[in-house]
Structure 1
Amino acid sequence: MTAVRWIAARVGSAILVVWIVATVVFFALRATGDPLEAILGGPGSNASPEAIAAATSRYGLDRPVVVQYLLQLRDIATLSLGDSYARRTPVSTLIAEQLPNTLVLAVLALALAWVLAVAGALIQQTARGPVGRAAGAVLRFCEIVASVMPGFWLGAVLIVVFSTSLGWLPATSAANDPASLVLPVVTLAVPIAGFLSQVSREALVEADGAPFATTSRARGAGEARVLLRHTLRHAALPALSLSGWSLGNLLSGAVVVEVLFARPGLGRLLQDAALQRDVPVAIGAVAVVAVIYVVVVTATDALELVVDPRLRGARTPARTAPDQAVGS
C-alpha cells in the first residue's frame, strides 16, 4: 500500500503540473491576440470573409474562451493534441520529430555536467599543500562564476572564440552532425556543473567527517578506499536528488540554446509556436516537457531509495550506529 500511495502521489503531481502549464500557456497566448491570424497565414494574409468564417468554425474560435480552454484540456487528457494552426500538421507528429534532438542535447549536457562536477569536487577534496589549496580556491571561484553564468552569453562567447576566431567547431548545429553538438552541450552543461559541483563538494566534506568515515580509517582503510567506497557514494546523494531538477532546467534552457545555435528541436518549435500564437503546438510542447520532468524526478526519487536504504525507513536496532553507517 505504501508503494501504491507513492505511485498515486507521483501520478497526481504529473496531472497537476500538466494542468498548470497548459492553463498558463493557453491564457498567455490568448492574451497576446487572436490565433486566427496564425491559422490564416500570418499578418497581411488578406483572407476572404468566407475563409475567416470557415477557419473560425473549424477550430472552434467562435465559442467562448472558457469552452475553448476546456476543449484543449480534453484533447490533452485524451492524448489528442490536435493540428498546428500554422503548419496544418498534427501536433504529435511535430513533437515526435523534434523531441529526440532536444533529449539528446539535454542528456549529453547533464552527463557532461556530472563529469565536471564530480571531477571538480574530487580535486578539491584530495588536493593537499599550498598548491592544492590554491587550486581549490580557483575551482571554488569557477563554480560560483559557472553557476550564475547566463546561457545565452556563454553560448555567444563560445561561438566567437571556437567558431568565428579559431574555426574549430561549427556555429550552427545540425541534428546529424556530432561536431555541432559540442558548443550547445557545453553551453548547457557549464552552469549546471557549477551548481552540482558546489553541492557535491559540500557533501564530500560533510561525509568525510562523518562517523562511518572515521570508523573506516580506524580499521586501517586508506584515504582512497574511504573516498571511493564510503564518502563518495554518500556525497552523491544530494547531487543525485537534484538531477531531476537539472534535467528540467536543461530542457527549458534548450529553448535559448537551440535558437542561438539554429539547432532543430523542441525549443525552436516552442519558440515558433509562441511567436505565431500556435496554441495547440505550444500547449503540446510544454505538456510533453512537464511530463518528462515529472517522470525524471520520479525516477530520481526511486533511485535515491535504492542507493540509500535509510530513506525507505529500514532500521536494524541490533546493529550499532557506526557499524550501520559503515555497512550502508
Structure 2
Amino acid sequence: MNVIARVTRSYVTRRVMFAVLVLWAVFTAVFIILFIVPGDPAQVIAGGAGGLEATDEQLAAIRAQYGLDQPVIVQYFSMLWGAVTLDWGTSFVFKQPVLPLLAANFASTAQLAAFALIVAVLLGLLIGGLAAYTQSRLLSSTLDALPPIGVATPTFWVGLVLMQVFSFTLGWFPASGDQGLASVVLPGLTMAIPAAAIIAQVFAKSLRTASNEPFVPVARAKGLSRLRVFLSHTARNALLPTVTVMGLVIGSLFAASTVSETIFSRNGLGMALQHSVQSKDIPMVLGAVMLVAGVYVITTLVVDLLYPLIDPRLRSQTARISAANGPSEQSAIEERVSA
C-alpha cells in the first residue's frame, strides 16, 4: 500500500506541475503577443480615440502611473506576480479592477457553457451510441458521417444558420441579447454542435473497440440480451475515454464562447475578451485569457486525477504489480499510472 500511495502522490504532483506549467506558458505567450501588437496603451487609458489629443506630458504621466514606462521584463514579472496573487490590475478602458469585471461576465458565460455541455453530451452519446449499436449499414454510415461534418463546420457559420432559421424565419428564439433561457438556446447550440461531434466520434470508436473485448461473448453466453450487454458492459467501458474528452470539451466551450457571444451580441467573457483585444486593454485581455485557460486546465487536471478512480482496471493493475514486485518496481508502476 505504501508503494501505491507513493505512486499516487507522484502522479498527482506531476499532473499539478504540468498544469501550472501550461498556465505559465499561456500567460507568457499572451503577454508577448500583446506587446508585439502595434498600439500605445497610454492612449487607450487617456481616452481611446481622444487619446490622440493628449499631450506628451500627459501620456508620460499615464505611463509612469501604470508602470508602462518600465522595461518589458519588469512589466512581465510584475503582471505575472499579480496573476499569481489574483491581482490582475485595473482595466485601461473601464478604469475598474479587472477581477470584479470578469466575475460579472463569468456567470453569463458559465450558464451558456453549461447548457452547451448538456446538449453536447446528450447529442454526442446518442449519435455515437446509435452508430455503434445499429445493425443497419446505411444508418451507421450516415451517423458516422455526421461528426466529421460537425467538427469541420466553422462555428460562426453554424451560428449564422441557426439565427437565420430559428430567429429570422421561424421567430422561435431571439437573435441577440440576454432575455432569459430563450436567448441561451441558439448560442448554446452553436457551441454544442462541434462539441457533440467530438464526443460522438470518440464514443463510437470506443464502443466498437469495447465490443471486440472477450467479455462481450462471455456475457452473451450467459444469456444476456444484445441490448443489455451493450448498455451494461460495452457502453460502460467505452465511457472511460469519453469522460476524458468531456473534460477537454468543457474548457473548449469557454474558449468558443468568444465567437458565439459575438454573433448573438450576448455579454460574457467572450464579448469582454473581444472588446479588450480591440482596445488593447492589456490587464483585461490577460485576465480573461487566464480565466478561460484556468477553467480548461483545472477541468483537465480534475479528469486526469479522477481517471484512476473511475477505471477499476487501472487500480487493480497497480495493486497486482506492487504486490508482485514490491517497492523496487515503483518507477514501472508510475509509468503505467501515467499512461
TM-score (normalised: structure 2): 0.88
Residue in structure 1 matched with residue 176 of structure 2 by the alignment: 172
Are 2:153 and 1:149 aligned? yes
Give the distance between the partners of 2:249 and 2:150, measured in 1 at CA.
14
Residue in structure 1 matched with residue 89 of structure 2 by the alignment: 82
Residue in structure 2 matched with residue 19 of structure 1 by the alignment: 24
Name the stretch that deviates more: 8-17 or 164-173.
Answer: 8-17
Over 3 Å counting, the alpha-carbon distance change for 1:173 and 1:2 in structure 2 is: farther
Give me the CA root mean square deviation.
1.8
In the TM superposition, residue 259 of structure 1 has moved relative to its aligned partner by 0.6
Choose which of 54, 60, 65 in structure 2 pairs with 1:58: 65
Give the distance between the partners of 1:106 and 1:66, measured in 2 at CA.
36
Q: Deviations over 1:68-109 (max 9, x none)?
A: 111111111221111101110101011110112112212221
Give the distance between the partners of 2:177 and 2:56, measured in 1 at CA.
42
Give the distance between the partners of 2:72 and 2:62, measured in 1 at CA.
16
Residue in structure 2 matched with residue 307 of structure 1 by the alignment: 310
- The unaligned stretches of length 5 or more in structure 2 are 1-5, 322-339
Are 2:33 and 1:28 aligned? yes
Residue in structure 2 matched with residue 247 of structure 1 by the alignment: 250
Q: Contact between 2:43 and 2:59, CA under 8 Å: does it hold in 1? A: no
Choose which of 35, 40, 48 in structure 1 pairs with 2:46: 40
Q: How does 1:66-215 map to 2 (within 5 A)?
A: 66-128=73-135, 132-174=136-178, 177-215=180-218
**Richer in helix (by share):** 2
Q: Deviations over 1:130-150 (max 9, x none)?
A: xx3322222122222112111
Give the distance between the partners of 1:70 and 1:122, measured in 2 at CA.
49
Are 2:296 and 1:290 aligned? no
Report the 3-state secondary structure (helix = DSSP H, G, I; strand = E; otherwise coil) of the residue aligned with 2:174: coil
Over 3 Å counting, the alpha-carbon distance change for 1:166 and 1:78 in structure 2 is: same
Choose which of 4, 9, 26 in structure 1 pairs with 2:9: 4
Give the distance between the partners of 1:289 and 1:162, measured in 2 at CA.
29
Give the distance between the partners of 1:230 and 1:302, measured in 2 at CA.
24
Q: Deviations over 1:25-66 (max 9, x none)?
A: 112111122211211111233124443232111101111111
Q: Contact between 1:91 and 1:280, CA under 8 Å: does it hold in 2? A: yes
Q: Contact between 1:21 and 1:287, CA under 8 Å: does it hold in 2? A: yes
Q: Contact between 2:258 and 2:270, CA under 8 Å: does it hold in 1? A: yes
TM-score (normalised: structure 1): 0.91
Name the stretch that deviates more: 24-33 or 49-58.
Answer: 49-58
Give the distance between the partners of 1:199 and 1:10, measured in 2 at CA.
23
In the TM superposition, residue 282 of structure 1 has moved relative to its aligned partner by 0.7
Give the distance between the partners of 2:19 and 2:44, measured in 1 at CA.
30
Give the distance between the partners of 2:252 and 2:61, measured in 1 at CA.
41
Report the 3-state secondary structure (helix = DSSP H, G, I; strand = E; otherwise coil) of the residue aligned with 1:89: coil
Give the distance between the partners of 2:202 and 2:245, measured in 1 at CA.
9
Residue in structure 2 matched with residue 321 of structure 1 by the alignment: none
Report the 3-state secondary structure (helix = DSSP H, G, I; strand = E; otherwise coil) of the residue aligned with 1:83: coil
Report the 3-state secondary structure (helix = DSSP H, G, I; strand = E; otherwise coil) of the residue aligned with 2:220: helix
Give the distance between the partners of 2:205 and 2:69, measured in 1 at CA.
58
In the TM superposition, residue 315 of structure 1 has moved relative to its aligned partner by 4.8
Give the distance between the partners of 1:213 and 1:24, measured in 2 at CA.
48
* Amino acid in the other structure paired with 2:9: V
In the TM superposition, residue 316 of structure 1 has moved relative to its aligned partner by 5.4
Report the 3-state secondary structure (helix = DSSP H, G, I; strand = E; otherwise coil) of the residue aligned with 1:108: helix
Q: Deviations over 1:153-178 (max 9, x none)?
A: 0001111111111111111131x510
* Amino acid in the other structure paired with 1:42: G
Q: Contact between 1:244 and 1:297, CA under 8 Å: does it hold in 2? A: yes
Give the distance between the partners of 2:112 and 2:274, measured in 1 at CA.
17
Q: Contact between 1:106 and 1:247, CA under 8 Å: does it hold in 2? A: yes
Give the distance between the partners of 1:247 and 1:181, measured in 2 at CA.
17
Q: Contact between 2:124 and 2:199, CA under 8 Å: does it hold in 1? A: yes
- The unaligned stretches of length 5 or more in structure 1 are 318-328
Give the distance between the partners of 1:268 and 1:237, measured in 2 at CA.
34
Q: Deviations over 1:115-140 (max 9, x none)?
A: 11111122223323xxx332222212
Identity %: 38
In the TM superposition, residue 180 of structure 1 has moved relative to its aligned partner by 0.6
* Amino acid in the other structure paired with 2:150: A
